[in-house]
Structure 1
Amino acid sequence: MENLKRQPPPPALTERHSGIPSRLYGIAQEAKNRLYSNKTVPESVPRRADVRLPPDTTRDEFDIAIAALKRDIGDDNVVLNNQPLVDGWYLEHPNTHDAFHVVDQEDLVCSAVAYPGSTGEVQVVVRWANKYAIPIYPISMGRNVGYGGTAPRVPGSIVVDLGKRMNKILNIDAENASCVVEPGVSYFALYEEVQRRKLPLWIDTPDLGGGSVLGNAIDRGVGYTPMGDHFACHCGMEIVLPNGEILRTGMGAMPGKNGADNPTWQSFQPAYGPYSDGIFSQSNFGIVCQMGFWLMHETGHQSYMITFPSEEDFPDIVEAIRPLAQKRILGNIPQLRHVVQELNVTGLPKSHWYAGSSPIPRDIIQKHAAQLPCGDCSWVFYGTQYGDETSIETQLDIIRSAFANIPGSRFFLPSDLPDDHYIHSRALVCSGVPILRELDWLNWKPNAAHLFFSPITPTRGADAKIVHDINIRLHKKYGFDLFPTLCVAGREMHYITNIIYDRSSNDEKRRVAGLMRELIAETAREGYGEYRTHVLFADQVAGTYNWNNNALMRFNETIKDALDPNGILAPGRNGIWPKNYRGKGWELLGDRVEKAIGGGTISPKL
């Protein structure tokens, strides 16, 4: 590790909205050095084409349209995608394509990137798209890595990068414990501003802190404090609809006194009439330009770790968690991880632990885990309790007692473990401090990329075991290591599988696509569906929600066609296609993704 070649420094938060705060400079530099030391391919390769044009658009038509857009929002705020494609890494990721490309790097690409600087300029871009019949694909910061990043579902679309120029924290209301942010505000930025103002408030952050607060909530991402359901903790949105009109949801729909914002906009979510906010999450029905969030008051907290010795303990662990979570004894959204991730999160490559290319065998995992602080175990549970010291101790006594019913379980506090152990990073995340530690997963393989497979199950051991057994069997079939993380609530669990592959290998890409396709299909046959997926698998996942002759999709299509008759806004996002694309070969079903890898294409032959 000490001999890693030093890379150019990552961007600072003071210089760029997507940068790293000063407290993490050293950690970010080391993470970048490690990631780049595992690369065996060049930063970029020559492109086959200059600009990937939008569908049904000639180069002359495109050039006329781009010239008009530059006049509308400024020449510097529209950039053609005609330069080499560079995948970069988490803090310096592209906004032109998927950095973790499964299909060819040059397939899911935009034709240009537009950078609006206000809600008004977003309106201008949307009206321009309608006039010239060119699809647009809005992103907040593009850091939903593992789900497609910034890749537009329709190649040649214009990526509308909202983060670069729309990155203001518009308000932090300490009395109301709430804030309003634009799309380019990262968890890092929001946390640092709360600290700068010395406010006794916490934010809730996912595992990595560089993503958009607004964007993660719109995708229904999760964190780990008691306010870990990010969309459930939002309050109020400002949205540009596909016709260019501005909509405010919730109490924001009522004007405040003398033209001010409504004073209860960030206090009460629904307002009067139908609660419309939900249709703008995981959809292509509008562009969210501002969003309110509730914050948490700072409090005492205590993180802990519990290990369990046997693979077969898995259903019993889930059964023990459910009553603790339903009774709200568990303080946060805890994680249950397989012990192989104790190896993975060290940042050391798979080759350090195992010389073979097959999935790492269980006996090898046991051997190495025995030398780590967790010891020879199979499952690791990370939780955090909140409140004053006395109440935390009472909670921990109940938790210890419940898990003691599983023979061989062991309880650890952070003080029981070395300073470099993962529990200390977990404790920060669970107290609202955004970090970078989860990047170390990507050192597992050279040129590493990853996909998330993310089904939902009830919090029942039998249900969880069905999904887990499917994962074990299919990961073995396709030759990938299984890295399961369960985010557990009282009634449901997010079973999140991180599939790590070498993006320089077409063979691994085909296998990872085949694995995803079978995982989606087999779990759906058992009644378990994904809550979120990669852009390439959106059509398949959407198709599994097909009760009553696809009533849900027909409802979504009805809304889409009413709001976006020209089909310009993110066609295909989350499997929702407008009428001018529908049934024309754009849907990716069957093995079309595998066939597109290594020279094919995902676009239909029109």
Structure 2
Amino acid sequence: MASIPVHAEATGAQVGQAVKKQPVSDAVSLPAPRFLPPDVEQDRFDEFAKRVLALVGQDNLEIISADTPLVNNDMGKTAYKYDAYRSADNECLLVGCGVVHPRHVPDVRAILALCNEFNVPLWPVSAGRNLAYGGSAPRVPGSLVMRLGTHMNRILEVDTEHYTCVVEPGVTYQDMHDYLAKHDLLDKVRQDTPEISWGSMIGNALDRGGGSTPYGDHWGAHCGMEVLLANGDLVRTGMGAMSSVEGREEAKKGVAPWDQTPNGCFSLFPYGFGPINDGLFTQGNVGVVTKMGFYLMPNFAGITPFMVTYPRDDDIEEAMRIAAKLRLNHIIQHACSMRYITLDAGFYGPRSDYTTSDRDQILTSDELDAMCARLNLGRWNFTGCVYGPPKMREMALEHVKAEMLRLPGSRFFTLEDRTERPSVLHARAPNMEGLCNMDQQRWIKQWMPNGAHLLFTPVSRVDGKTALQQFRLAKKLFAEHQMEFMGHLVVFHRDMHTVSCMVYDSTDAAMRDRAWKLGRRVVQEWQARGWGEMRQHIGLHDQVAASYDFNGHALLRFNETVKAALDPKGIIAPGKSGIWPRQYAKEKWLMGKEFIPAFPGVEPGLLGGGAGANGKVNGKNGDDGKNGDGAK
């Protein structure tokens, strides 16, 4: 078993250190925020900010003022303050009052206490990337964004016997990969990783992100959580709820709960005794997760990535039926992807390489065929792999070929067959092998200048007819909004995720607006057919939550009841997943009301208007100063 700090030189006080007031010069003057927290006046905010400053120090608190630049597509330090893609700007500018970087659990507890005292909403993030889903932007303008990952970034445990780990919020997939490489463990231990490896392991799992190996369900691969509740109480779930022998002795000596050695099965067995409460904290807003355990992956005895191409749009029906059968029978053991040609074309080059038409015009069928011929791809391109010793892989591939090459014109490729560089199959292969890779997302930046994107992922039955129906509907909706359809269909387990990618120029307000309106329309059309979104941009959370409407939105009413019990002042991430504290008048705060036929606690007559957000601002709101009430 091994345990070392990650980025130790960048980490502040270690977990468990007593909270000390930081020396603050009398000359320090904090600017007024662009947005004040709701119902908090300037003098009250000044007092709050000074208390936070005294707690964490000048380097760990930044006020987002009217003069703070909100740079389009900046993935650097400014990205921790807002949505770098500016996705919802045309409807509502989602920007906090500031960003705080706690150094350890005691800081988080103290910040929670201050937010309760001053009624300031708190928006916790881990690494704060969350591309296509809102980045670090808070749902309520004027919230204090709390970036846990700046200092709380230690790998606390890697168990190479049981293939588990325990990490803090700042540990990224790349960090874990580098740790395994540094300790010569990659021959034995691997991890699943999303397409971009810079994200937080905890943050991605809490938002139910996924990857490309048999461990690709990141939430499903978690085991054990440590959570701070709004009242400062620290809870460990599963087997973590039982103290270890060492932990009991540490408690007698006055060691703080967050520093006590966890139960030996904390990251081994997820259930413990009694109700399983972990789910309250995934896409939830009733606690702040400070540690999590995860299952790591044994290095397989071998891997053979492959690609199958299909020449016609309508091939998707039979191809997905075959892929679903192979996945369910575990011939293919991981979440596999059927990618449309435009998505892969973006990987190889910009849109201008394939057409001379304006970007608000849809590519013609002839242009798509020319694209396929040029890239030696099909209209649909399936990527997957088989795992195991050579003979096992050989037998599995024979079965895959026999099934997947039934369609006329279908073709099979291995890595050796794809000699071009870059290559989609070569870019996807490391992720399917449990290695980090940042190359897959080049289609976002290459397809057009200032490339940004929104992702829409309805969950449905995995069957060919549904796949074809979803594809045709998506193509139609995209064309109506002058957007090129890019996307892929994922066979997860027994379900299918049709990932529609809306790529736009983040500096083009008109195009950004078309993408946002398309997103609202897509959610609306999916709901009408019983297909529910499983993850979404924060500006669309109200609409998605409203689409889960069984029994008068019984689940949302339940979530609101839990919220009121565990966070009575409603300070943690108000509005996340459409869950609003009772202190908030929903009719004022809901976004996309014209797309929401009903919402618990809101009279029908109060719906049907425009965006909802009433953050009080100082100076200008939007970059042009025209967005003074928080919403257009």
Q: How does the TM-score come out when normalised to structure 2?
A: 0.85
Q: Which position in structure 2 is the counterpart of 1:61?
A: 44
1:460 lines up with 2:463 in the alignment: yes
1:112 lines up with 2:98 in the alignment: yes
Secondary structure in structure 1 of the residue aligned to 2:70 = coil
Q: Which position in structure 1 is the counterpart of 2:175?
A: 189
Q: Which position in structure 1 is the counterpart of 2:315?
A: 313
Which of these residues, 84, 109, 117, is aligned with residue 99 of structure 1?
A: 84
Is the 2:155–2:168 Cα contact (8 Å) retained in structure 1?
Answer: yes
Higher mean C-alpha deviation, range 79-88 or range 279-288: 79-88
Is the 1:308–1:409 Cα contact (8 Å) retained in structure 2?
Answer: yes
Q: Which runs of 5+ in 1 are unaligned?
A: 1-11, 18-47
1:362 lines up with 2:365 in the alignment: yes
Are residues 601 and 378 of structure 1, via their aligned partners in 2, closer, same or farther at CA, if it must alter by over 3 Å?
Answer: farther
Which of these residues, 486, 489, 503, is aligned with residue 486 of structure 1?
A: 489
Tell me, in whole angstroms, the C-alpha distance in 2 between the residues paired with 1:600 and 1:590.
20
Displacement of 1:119 in angstroms is 1.6
Is the 1:135–1:570 Cα contact (8 Å) retained in structure 2?
Answer: yes
Secondary structure in structure 1 of the residue aligned to 2:80 = coil
Q: Which position in structure 1 is the counterpart of 2:441?
A: 439
Are residues 209 and 404 of structure 1, via their aligned partners in 2, closer, same or farther at CA, if it must alter by over 3 Å?
Answer: same
Is the 2:61–2:99 Cα contact (8 Å) retained in structure 1?
Answer: yes
Letter aligned with residue 82 of structure 2: H
1:413-452 mapped onto 2 (5 Å cutoff):
413-418=414-419, 419-441=421-443, 442-452=445-455
Is the 2:124–2:145 Cα contact (8 Å) retained in structure 1?
Answer: yes
1:432-581 mapped onto 2 (5 Å cutoff):
432-441=434-443, 442-581=445-584
Higher mean C-alpha deviation, range 537-546 or range 101-110: 101-110
Tell me, in whole angstroms, the C-alpha distance in 2 between the residues paired with 1:243 and 1:393.
57
Is the 1:228–1:332 Cα contact (8 Å) retained in structure 2?
Answer: yes
Secondary structure in structure 2 of the residue aligned to 1:355 = coil
Displacement of 1:87 in angstroms is 3.6
Are residues 303 and 91 of structure 1, via their aligned partners in 2, closer, same or farther at CA, if it must alter by over 3 Å?
Answer: farther
Is the 1:225–1:333 Cα contact (8 Å) retained in structure 2?
Answer: yes
1:309-348 mapped onto 2 (5 Å cutoff):
309-346=311-348, 348=349
Tell me, in whole angstroms, the C-alpha distance in 2 between the residues paired with 1:225 and 1:90.
27
Tell me, in whole angstroms, the C-alpha distance in 2 between the residues paired with 1:389 and 1:194.
25
Letter aligned with residue 291 of structure 1: M
1:154 lines up with 2:140 in the alignment: yes
Q: What value does the CA root-mean-square deviation take over the aligned residues?
A: 2.2
Displacement of 1:190 in angstroms is 0.5
Is the 2:195–2:441 Cα contact (8 Å) retained in structure 1?
Answer: no
Q: Which position in structure 2 is the counterpart of 1:44?
A: none
Letter aligned with residue 94 of structure 1: A
1:1-80 mapped onto 2 (5 Å cutoff):
51-80=34-63
1:242 lines up with 2:246 in the alignment: no
Is the 2:165–2:293 Cα contact (8 Å) retained in structure 1?
Answer: yes
Is the 2:70–2:78 Cα contact (8 Å) retained in structure 1?
Answer: no
Q: Which position in structure 1 is the counterpart of 2:115?
A: 129
Higher mean C-alpha deviation, range 318-327 or range 436-445: 436-445
Displacement of 1:372 in angstroms is 1.5
Q: Which position in structure 1 is the counterpart of 2:594?
A: 590
Tell me, in whole angstroms, the C-alpha distance in 2 between the residues paired with 1:583 and 1:184.
33
Tell me, in whole angstroms, the C-alpha distance in 2 between the residues paired with 1:498 and 1:454.
9
Secondary structure in structure 2 of the residue aligned to 1:231 = coil
Are residues 341 and 103 of structure 1, via their aligned partners in 2, closer, same or farther at CA, if it must alter by over 3 Å?
Answer: closer
Secondary structure in structure 2 of the residue aligned to 1:342 = helix
Higher mean C-alpha deviation, range 97-106 or range 73-82: 97-106
Higher mean C-alpha deviation, range 413-422 or range 137-146: 413-422
1:391-410 mapped onto 2 (5 Å cutoff):
391-410=392-411
Secondary structure in structure 2 of the residue aligned to 1:305 = strand
Are residues 604 and 413 of structure 1, via their aligned partners in 2, closer, same or farther at CA, if it must alter by over 3 Å?
Answer: closer
Letter aligned with residue 432 of structure 2: C
Deviations 1:415-469 (A, max 9, x none): 0111421211111111111111133122212222111111111111122222222
Is the 1:510–1:594 Cα contact (8 Å) retained in structure 2?
Answer: no
Is the 1:456–1:528 Cα contact (8 Å) retained in structure 2?
Answer: yes
Displacement of 1:91 in angstroms is 5.5
Higher mean C-alpha deviation, range 583-592 or range 128-137: 583-592
Is the 2:73–2:450 Cα contact (8 Å) retained in structure 1?
Answer: no
Is the 1:513–1:594 Cα contact (8 Å) retained in structure 2?
Answer: no
Displacement of 1:69 in angstroms is 1.2
Tell me, in whole angstroms, the C-alpha distance in 1 between the residues paired with 2:77 and 2:121.
25
Aligned positions, number: 561
Are residues 496 and 601 of structure 1, via their aligned partners in 2, closer, same or farther at CA, if it must alter by over 3 Å?
Answer: farther
Tell me, in whole angstroms, the C-alpha distance in 1 between the residues paired with 2:78 and 2:388.
39
Tell me, in whole angstroms, the C-alpha distance in 2 between the residues paired with 1:184 and 1:304.
34
Tell me, in whole angstroms, the C-alpha distance in 2 between the residues paired with 1:373 and 1:91.
36
Displacement of 1:13 in angstroms is 7.8
Is the 2:7–2:153 Cα contact (8 Å) retained in structure 1?
Answer: no
Letter aligned with residue 131 of structure 2: V
Are residues 238 and 445 of structure 1, via their aligned partners in 2, closer, same or farther at CA, if it must alter by over 3 Å?
Answer: same
Higher mean C-alpha deviation, range 283-292 or range 78-87: 78-87
Is the 1:586–1:604 Cα contact (8 Å) retained in structure 2?
Answer: no
Aligned sequence identity (%): 35
Displacement of 1:168 in angstroms is 0.7
Is the 1:373–1:417 Cα contact (8 Å) retained in structure 2?
Answer: no
Q: How does the TM-score come out when normalised to structure 1?
A: 0.89
Deviations 1:206-226 (A, max 9, x none): 111110111000000000110
Tell me, in whole angstroms, the C-alpha distance in 2 between the residues paired with 1:289 and 1:50.
28
Tell me, in whole angstroms, the C-alpha distance in 1 between the residues paired with 2:10 and 2:40.
34
Q: Which runs of 5+ in 2 are unaligned?
A: 1-5, 12-30, 248-260, 596-608, 614-621
Higher mean C-alpha deviation, range 99-108 or range 502-511: 99-108
Deviations 1:245-303 (A, max 9, x none): 11100100000003131001111001000111111101111111100000011111110
Secondary structure in structure 2 of the residue aligned to 1:116 = coil
Tell me, in whole angstroms, the C-alpha distance in 1 between the residues paired with 2:481 and 2:195.
27
Is the 2:93–2:631 Cα contact (8 Å) retained in structure 1?
Answer: no
1:389 lines up with 2:390 in the alignment: yes
Tell me, in whole angstroms, the C-alpha distance in 2 between the residues paired with 1:479 and 1:15.
49
Letter aligned with residue 202 of structure 1: R
Are residues 209 and 14 of structure 1, via their aligned partners in 2, closer, same or farther at CA, if it must alter by over 3 Å?
Answer: farther
